[in-house]
Amino acid sequence: MAPQELRLQRISEHLTIGSTNCSRCCPTADLSAASGDTEPRQPRSSTRSSSAVTRPEVGAAAELRVAAVQISGYDKGDLPHPGYDPVEQLLPYIQRAGRDGVDLVVFPEYVLGHIAVPGPSTQLIAAAAKAAGVYIIVGCWEVAGDRLLNTALLFDRAGAIAGKYHKTHAAVDSMDESQPPWTAPPAGKSREWLLENDPEWVMERGQDLPVFVLEDIGLRVGILTCYDGWFPEPARELSLRGAEIIVWINGRGGSVEDFIVQTTMFQSHVAMIATNQAYGAGTMIGGNRAESDVSEEFLPAVSS
């Protein structure tokens, strides 16, 4: 993998992001072949090349190396399958990231499925984060009693859950056509039907857009989940709250929209890391700089 560098510099209260020695795209990485692992690689999964993100400070510089992983686990309407734990698919990527000196590994939306937080799945990821010495962002359906939240979890290098982001914009697929559009779920459907067919009618929507600090590096990260990224205001609010990097996790068919990524980077003065499940496409790492053509800094994804 050939790393790229995205250099972040503050000007007054704003942030401009530039890059040096960026290629336009990076090859898909075959984890098994690259690492010498004998276990077969999970089908239809790929990882984007690590990127180094540098934010100069007065008298010091901070560098963040990131890896975005395009992989499938649980999907939007999947309920737990006995004997299936997608964490096992994620662990080799976390281990590889540790060997490659990556600081932050980003996985897609939904991928852990319906889990308790904390619980057995988060304990496994926490142990892997601590062993590899990496930060991890990963999506799940967080189950807390009768509450269901579309959650992005942030693990720190010590394996602690350092933060959560709850999706704020529900991506619903059906509606009660007797009501104003998209204001009510389809009539006569049970909670069980909705959980399997249109669960974001059931989910508890997030009410905040937090910014997380990677403490040992000092970089500030905001998170958006899938449909959140289709609106300009969430990214703008994160930028105004000080986010320098926005992580956009997705779980959908088709491709994450490159024009949304480019526009968000340009308008909100942030770098972006986007992931998607492997049945889709568009996993990418990108930055912009105000004084150059934004397209020069965009790194398109390689679909699996």
More confident residue, 17 or 137: 137
Please report, rounded to a whole number, the percentage of residues in the chain having pLDDT higher than 70: 74
Do 170 and 205 meet the contact criterion of CB atoms below 8 Å apart?
Answer: yes
pLDDT of residue 257: 94
Q: Is residue 302 part of a domain?
A: no
pLDDT of residue 250: 97
Q: Is 167 a catalytic residue?
A: yes
Give me the number of domains the chain comprises: 1
pLDDT digits (tens, 9 = 90+) for 186-219: 999 999 999 999 999 999 999 999 999 998 998 9
Q: Is residue 194 part of a domain?
A: no
Annotated catalytic residue: which of 76, 142, 226, 244?
226
pLDDT of residue 39: 37
Start-end of H helices in 181-303: 191-197, 232-240, 258-268
- Residue 67: is its pLDDT beyond 50? yes
| DSSP structure class, residue 255 | B
Q: How far apart are CA 123 and CA 119, in angstroms?
A: 6
Q: Is 109 a catalytic residue?
A: yes
Annotated catalytic residue: which of 22, 26, 76, 109?
109
pLDDT digits (tens, 9 = 90+) for 35-61: 333 333 333 444 454 455 444 443 344
Q: Quick one: pLDDT band at residue 286, thresholds 50, 70, 90?
A: confident
Closest CA to 162 of 202, 211, 96: 211
Domain of 216, in residue numbers: 4-169+205-297
pLDDT of residue 208: 96
Q: Quick one: pLDDT band at residue 236, thresholds 50, 70, 90?
A: very high
Q: Is residue 49 part of a domain?
A: yes
Annotated catalytic residue: which of 26, 76, 140, 167?
167
pLDDT digits (tens, 9 = 90+) for 240-253: 999 999 999 999 99
Average pLDDT score over residue span 97-116: 96
Burial 10-42 (b: 16+ CB within 10 A, else e): eeeeebebbbeebeeebebbebeeebeeeeebb
Q: Quick one: pLDDT band at residue 13, thresholds 50, 70, 90?
A: very low
Q: Is 226 a catalytic residue?
A: yes
Q: Is residue 28 part of a domain?
A: yes
Quote the pTM value: 0.79
CATH code, domain with 164: 3.60.110.10
